[in-house]
A = this chain, B = another copy of it.
Amino acid sequence: MTASSNGSDPENLRRRILDTARHLLVQEGYQNLSMRRIADAIGYSATSIYLYFDSKDALLHTLIHEGMMRLHDRLEAAAAQHPDRPEARLQALCRAFVQFGLHNPEYYEIMFQLRPERMERYPPDKYRQARKNLDAFAAALKAGAAEGAFVVTDPRVAASTVWASLHGTVSLLLADRVDARIAPDTFIDTAIRQVMQGFRHTPAPSAP
């Protein structure tokens, strides 16, 4: 008889709590995510959750951290596809970011849409690490500028505005706020094309 035969080997429940929290997050929304609901969903008492997490905050912070790591992986993988072509690399990063958001709405929600008050309690060291996700964008922009493909004054600022555009794109899609007559793929493609175009050279605006 193995430990897993009763479905309750140690790390398993912790994992189930996290997963259930994620699912509830996307199903019921952050506002309706409560310890009791999580407990009910996994068929355990609310008390049990506290065996694995010190508090609701700790649980959420764990989810945020997981999401950050996962996003980090996705971005690294995307960047690795085009080590020598900054432009293609930036595009891959954008696409990877959007895909991550759409495929992991739960993670996305707590990572980027948590109200500032909750975020304040997020451990600073983890927060700093999260910021690193922007570096991939900045690096691609800098490299692109170096080889003359992009016009970029400050890569850090440019990376932030790129992020802003992508974030807006994902947010609206997740919130179902995009005109229903527009196909999501069209929306995404257009958004990314617009972002890419945003740093390209342009001929002087045609004088009248």
Contacts and interface: CB of A to CB of B under 8 A. Distances in A.
A125 interface: no
Interface in A134-193: 134, 148-149, 153-154, 156-158, 160-169, 171-172, 174-179, 181-182, 186-187, 190-191, 193
Interface string A84-127: 00010000000000000000000000001101110100000000
Interface in A9-40: 28-32
B175 A119 contact: yes
Nearest to A109: B115
A195 interface: yes
Contacts of A131: 179
Interface of A: 28-32, 87, 112-113, 115-117, 119, 131, 134, 148-149, 153-154, 156-158, 160-169, 171-172, 174-179, 181-182, 186-187, 190-191, 193-195, 197-203, 205-206
Given A157-B186, A164-B191, A168-B171, 20 more contacts: A29-B117, A31-B115, A31-B117, A112-B175, A113-B175, A115-B175, A116-B175, A131-B179, A158-B194, A161-B169, A161-B190, A162-B194, A163-B168, A163-B172, A165-B168, A171-B171, A197-B199, A197-B202, A201-B202, A201-B203
